[in-house]
Amino acid sequence: MDNDKTRMTKSELMTNDEIGRMAFRHSGFGILSLFVIWTLSFVSVVLLPALQAADNLGVLGSKPKWVVLENYQRTITRDEFAHLISDVYCTHGFAADLIKIDNDAAQILTNRESHNVFTLQFAPDANSKARIPRLWRPAKSLPAAKPNKPLAGLRVALDPGHLGGRWAKMEERWFQVGETKPVTEGDLTLRVSRMLASRLRKLGATVLFVRNSTQPITSKRPGDFKELARKILIKNGLPQPRVGGDVLDPNDSEKQQTIRWQSEMLFYRYSEIRRRAVLVNNKLHPDLVLCLHFNAEGWGDPANPTLIDNNHLHLLVNGSYLQDELDLDDERFEMIRRLLSRAYDEELAIADTVAALMAKATGLPAYQYPTTLTTTKVGSSGYVYARNLLATRLYRCPVVYCEPYVMNSKDGFARIQAGDYEGIKEINGAARKSIFREYADSVAEGLAEYYSKNRGL
Ligand SMILES: [Zn+2]
């Protein structure tokens, strides 16, 4: 693989999926800054003017409603709050004026311009905590169930990552080796989700799909974001940004500077995931969301991809916010709301259990992030990290985000090419279940184990 960083394509830089950490700030004057941080093997910050703004929001973010947090007064003790801030959500630190933790209350800055703060009163002790308002139910609040129906009454939403189909090339989740079938993550995740749905239903769960086709949830399309994309690029020092042509050249080293690339990303990542969040939060009301993905390492030219030996597994829960993210008013609000909902306690325990079952079934080692700049290892399994992804932050319930299998590993690729089949086949010299069944079976077993052990009486 080409190690020249300036020539790396997005898929090489974004080996671990999701969130190019792009954020830009809105004000009465429009967008003031944009920065893109490519995580993983290195971090490069592109275009980062230090400008102040009245409303300081993430990409396509909306103004936070701090008053909602009044419902969480006296639901948490000082010790619990301080622990979640320092060990889960703000592991990379934060500017001193953003959050102040006193003995009886925390002061959280709502807007830097106005110096307004939200005051969160702590519960004096563990026995006098007010009830936490939330729509989802932790395992312990579900009544006991028959041994063969450990998920009875549980509402699980399945969120197959990406779109696949005709969008796979645009979302850079497409590669093809010679004349073999193209590998498109969005189609693989949908296939696994459908298999998983039938397994979970057999265990008693009510299964909801966040996406159950290759059509986007958002009604917007890249064309709707051209003007916004143009403004972003201009504000970042490109007075005459390139349009980018009718079809984007995946190997164009400067494609990120085109209106086309920016507007497509605004569509398939930011608009799409934000609409999925609206669906989850306002309509589906699940007790748990499972985000299903396949991982990849940099594959270079999608038409002539690099296959590697490395294959691994990890799971993600929300946390580990970067200082720049905490500076954004909406992300800081969403972080505090998530912390107060105590989704972490539930999602971490589920993730650890599912990870152990997936590790056993797949035989995959735990992925080790090459830097600790964006993630924090949490839990006891060794496979779970906290990371601030859009989906794990915005879905208002426990979210477990699965990243098994490197699609462009030699083993992963061969197993994907083998397709789905019953029983065991020899693939790459090893006796293997179908990769799709192995994924779906192990997640279902993990949930069955967790809920069997943790439901109420
Ligand atoms: Zn993915």
Residues 6+ apart with CB under 8 A from 429: none
Residue (of 268, 314, 304) closest to 408 by Cα position: 304
Identify the pLDDT of residue 457. 76
Give the count of beta carbons closer than 10 Å to the beta carbon of residue 254.
Answer: 12
**Residue 283 in this model has a pLDDT that exceeds 80:** yes
pLDDT digits (tens, 9 = 90+) for 358-378: 999 999 999 999 887 899 999
Is 100 in a helix, a strand, or coil? strand
State in Å: Cα 405 to ligand 1 middle: 11
State in Å: Cα 189 to ligand 1 middle: 8
State in Å: Cα 120 to ligand 1 middle: 36
pLDDT digits (tens, 9 = 90+) for 222-278: 999 999 999 989 988 988 888 887 777 777 888 889 999 999 999 999 999 999 999
Identify the pLDDT of residue 45. 32
Facing residues of 409 across strands?
A: 308
Facing residues of 314 across strands?
A: 403
pLDDT classification of 54: cutoffs 50, 70, 90: low
Gap between the Cα atoms of 316 and 395, Å rounded:
14
Identify the pLDDT of residue 40. 26
pLDDT digits (tens, 9 = 90+) for 385-433: 999 999 999 999 999 999 999 999 999 999 999 999 999 999 999 999 9
pLDDT classification of 124: cutoffs 50, 70, 90: very high
State in Å: Cα 17 to ligand 1 middle: 5
State in Å: Cα 457 to ligand 1 middle: 37
State in Å: Cα 294 to ligand 1 middle: 6
State in Å: Cα 455 to ligand 1 middle: 31
Mean pLDDT of the chain: 88
State in Å: Cα 76 to ligand 1 middle: 34
Identify the pLDDT of residue 230. 94
| Cα separation values, 230 from 91, 176, 249, 262, 446, Å | 34, 31, 19, 8, 46
State in Å: Cα 247 to ligand 1 middle: 22
The b-or-e profile of 208-224 (16+ CB within 10 A means b, else e) is bbbbeebebbbebebee
**Residue 169 in this model has a pLDDT that exceeds 50:** yes
| Cα separation values, 69 from 126, 201, 334, 361, Å | 20, 35, 10, 41
Is 107 in a helix, a strand, or coil? strand
Is 227 in a helix, a strand, or coil? helix
State in Å: Cα 295 to ligand 1 middle: 6
Helix locations, 203-297, DSSP H: 226-235, 259-265, 272-279
Length of the chain: 457
| CA-CA-CA-CA torsion sign (403, 404, 406, 412) | negative
State in Å: Cα 386 to ligand 1 middle: 16
Gap between the Cα atoms of 405 and 390, Å rounded:
21
**Residue 1 in this model has a pLDDT that exceeds 80:** no
State in Å: Cα 173 to ligand 1 middle: 8
State in Å: Cα 98 to ligand 1 middle: 32
Determine the average pLDDT of the residues in 125-138: 95
Identify the pLDDT of residue 112. 83
The b-or-e profile of 357-395 (16+ CB within 10 A means b, else e) is bbbebbebebbebeeeebbbbbbebebbbbbbbbbbbbb
Gap between the Cα atoms of 425 and 180, Å rounded:
19
State in Å: Cα 59 to ligand 1 middle: 19
